[in-house]
Amino acid sequence: MRLLPGLLCVLASLGAAAQERPDDFAYSVPLEVSGDGALHQLDVPRSVYEGVTRVDLADVRVFNGRSEIVPHALKPRPAPGTAPAAWVEVPFFPLHGAQGTASERLDIRARRTPAGTIVEITRDKAVGGTPVLLGYLVDATGFERPMQALDLDWRDPGEGVSSSLRVEASDDLQQWQTLVSAAPLVSLEFGGQRLVQKTVELPALRRKYLRLTWPGSPNPIELTRLRARPSDMLLEPARQWKQVELRSAEKPGEFRYEPGGRIPVDRLRVGLPERNTLVPVQVLARHTDDQRWQLITTGVVYRLTHEGHDVVSADLNVSATGWEQWLLRLDSRGGGIGAGEPQVQVGWVPQQLVFVARGEGPFQLAYGNLRARSADLPIQTLVPGWHSDAELKAATATAGAQEVRAGPRALRGAPDYRTWGLWGSLVIGVVLLAWMAWVLARELRDSRPGA
């Protein structure tokens, strides 16, 4: 029985030896932490996406200075958000005509010059009378996004203002569409209290011109200032970009490329070699050579010249599923892209990795192990009470240059001698325990009286 404690110690040491170490992974990057806080976070570096074997980053570990694994979690990728736009001054021009004349009977023309827009207004000659203010024409050609609201200031007539505003929109100054039929405008004071309503909300519709009138009101408001607030700005999360090398595929107009590793590509940026080129495209993808190509998205890419500047197509949206092989197929029915080849950049939103800085540094991020299983914790477990719209209070960690550990051997799934050694030791331990049980049973049998 004296062998049992020693055997248990051997088995415990073998189990400890089976713990993952940095050299079990293909690569690592050193992590520089700031401060002595418990939580640190960093954007997953591009080299990690290029070196892992799983799109879910299951083969990623964080080690401290004693080569011990420390807890880590992956934050979900942020969704696009919005931010309110600032108020912008808008040019406006008075519309004059005879009292009672409908604004539709005014002949309005606009000429654009390098200095801006010149508006010419011609009254209907059949209508006489002294010209009076009928309304205002608003030049919205400088807005890239629809106007969301108008803010008006006017000259105080002395007795206060209580009126209704009509807002119409047009692109050609001929056909008009009513956006707001009767928006209240108020500026009244009574008993020491003041009531003011000078803002008009607009539907999200982009037009070049607006027409402001006060139908049924004998005294239109005399504007002194007009501001507009564009629609909320879309805030895309920051992306990383990588230029990929294209290879001609089996058919003309087809190009293959591989982003490398398990990069979660969600945007494609296609650059065309010649100006004034427009071509429909298909984007296909697959994981391995023996799979069929799957259609990911279609679109139109272009590079056109307008007023001396290149106007290029927007990025193509694709699913962020970590495809390994991609195919760009150009439609040649319109003449293709001319001489040269396209350029392709892939973009992705890196996840944020959060870890607990347990123990002493230096810390390192190891990755690339075909046999590794997922070890990351849910972010709510690592940071209790965390939710996606809350800012995580964690110090920033910085990743250094990539260092080679086990190298490609860990990516190919080389024989796991440590695991086989552990199983062999366990088998030997079971055999030894059986032998010890047999010896103990024989000793007990021999020690009985009359044996």
Give yes or no for a contact between 22 and 28, defined as CB atoms under 8 angstroms apart.
yes
Strand partners, 352: 43, 75
So what's the pLDDT on residue 106?
65
d(CA 109, CA 264): 52
Give the span between the Cα atoms of 67 and 362, in whole angstroms: 9
CB 355 within 8 Å of CB 40: yes
Asked whether residue 10 is assigned to any structural domain, the reply reads no
36 within a domain of the structure (yes/no): yes
| In a shared domain, residues 212 and 180 | yes
Backbone angles phi, psi at 448, to 5 degrees: -75, 145
Q: How far is CA 212 from CA 105, 152, 171, 206, in A?
A: 15, 11, 15, 16
Query: Which pLDDT value is given to residue 48?
Result: 96
What are φ and ψ of residue 11, in 5° steps?
-65, -40
Tokens of 297: 């998205």
Q: Give the span between the Cα atoms of 206 and 188, in whole angstroms.
A: 32
pLDDT band at 284 (very low <50, low <70, confident <90, very high): very high
Phi and psi at residue 104, to the nearest 5°: -65, -20
Q: Is 419 a member of any domain?
A: no
DSSP state of 377: B
Asked whether residue 441 is domain-assigned, the answer is no
How many structural domains comprise the chain?
Answer: 3
By CB neighbour count within 10 A (0-12 exposed, 13-18 middle, 19+ buried), where does 205 fall?
Answer: exposed
Domain boundary among 290, 319, 348: 348
Please give the pLDDT value at position 127.
Answer: 52
Which region among 62-71, 110-119, 421-430 has the lowest average model confidence (pLDDT)? 110-119
Q: What's the pLDDT tens digit per position in 302-361? A: 999 877 778 899 999 998 778 889 999 999 887 788 888 899 999 999 999 999 999 998
The pLDDT confidence band at residue 22, using thresholds 50, 70 and 90, is very high
Residue 229 shares a structural domain with residue 159: yes
Residues 244 and 228 in one domain: no
Predicted confidence (pLDDT) at residue 30 exceeds the cutoff of 50: yes
Residue 348 CB partners (closer than 8 Å, separation 6+): 49, 239, 240, 263, 264, 265, 266, 267, 320
Same domain, 129 and 75: no
- Taking 60 as the threshold, does the pLDDT of residue 124 lie above it? no
- Beta carbons within 10 angstroms of residue 398's beta carbon: 13
Q: How confident is the model at residue 116, as a pLDDT? A: 59
pLDDT at 448 over 50: yes
Given 169, 202, 234, which residue is the final one in a domain? 234
**Domain CATH for 188:** 2.60.120.260
Q: Same domain, yes or no, for 333 and 387?
A: no
Within 10 angstroms of residue 281's Cβ, the number of other Cβ atoms is 20
pLDDT value at residue 6: 41
In this prediction, residue 383 carries a pLDDT of: 86
User: Same structural domain for residues 194 and 220?
Assistant: yes
Contact 55, 262 (CB under 8 A): yes
Residues 183 and 227 in one domain: yes
pTM of the model: 0.66
Ramachandran angles phi, psi of 274, nearest 5°: -120, 150
CB atoms within 10 A of CB 193: 7
Lowest mean pLDDT, pick from 45-54, 63-72, 217-226: 217-226
pLDDT at residue number 433: 83
319 and 228, same domain (yes or no): no
- 18 is a domain residue: no
CA angle 390, 394, 399 (to 5 degrees): 125
β-strands 193-197, 69-70: how paired?
A: unpaired
Burial 69-107 (b: 16+ CB within 10 A, else e): beebbbbeeeeeeeeebeeeebebbebebbeebebeebe
Domain boundary among 328, 348, 368: 348
Report which secondary-structure segment, H or E, holds 93. Answer: strand 92-98
Q: What pLDDT does residue 11 have? A: 41
Q: Is residue 250 part of a domain?
A: yes
Residues 326 and 385 in one domain: no
- Reply yes or no on whether the pLDDT at 75 is more than 60: yes
pLDDT digit string, tens, across residues 347-405: 999 999 999 999 998 999 999 999 999 999 998 888 888 776 667 788 999 999 999 99
pLDDT at residue 112, as a whole number = 64
Residue 2 has pLDDT above 60, yes or no: no
Give residue 128's pLDDT.
56
Distance CA 299, CA 267 (A): 12
Mean pLDDT to the nearest integer, 124-130: 57
* Residue 13 counted as domain residue: no
User: 110 with 149, same domain?
Assistant: yes
In which domain, by residue range, is 144 found? Answer: 88-234
Do 138 and 61 lie in one domain? The reply is: no
Is residue 450 assigned to a domain? no
Looking at every residue in the chain, the average pLDDT score rounds to: 83
d(CA 111, CA 297): 41
Across the range 68-76, mean pLDDT stands at: 93
Do 368 and 321 share a structural domain? no
Beta strands in 214-342 (DSSP E): 223-230, 233-235, 240-244, 247-248, 254-257, 267-271, 277-286, 294-306, 309-312, 316-317, 325-330
| Sequence-ordered list of residues with C-beta below 8 angstroms from that of 13, at least 6 positions apart, any chain | none
Interatomic CA distance for residues 237 and 242, integer angstroms: 16
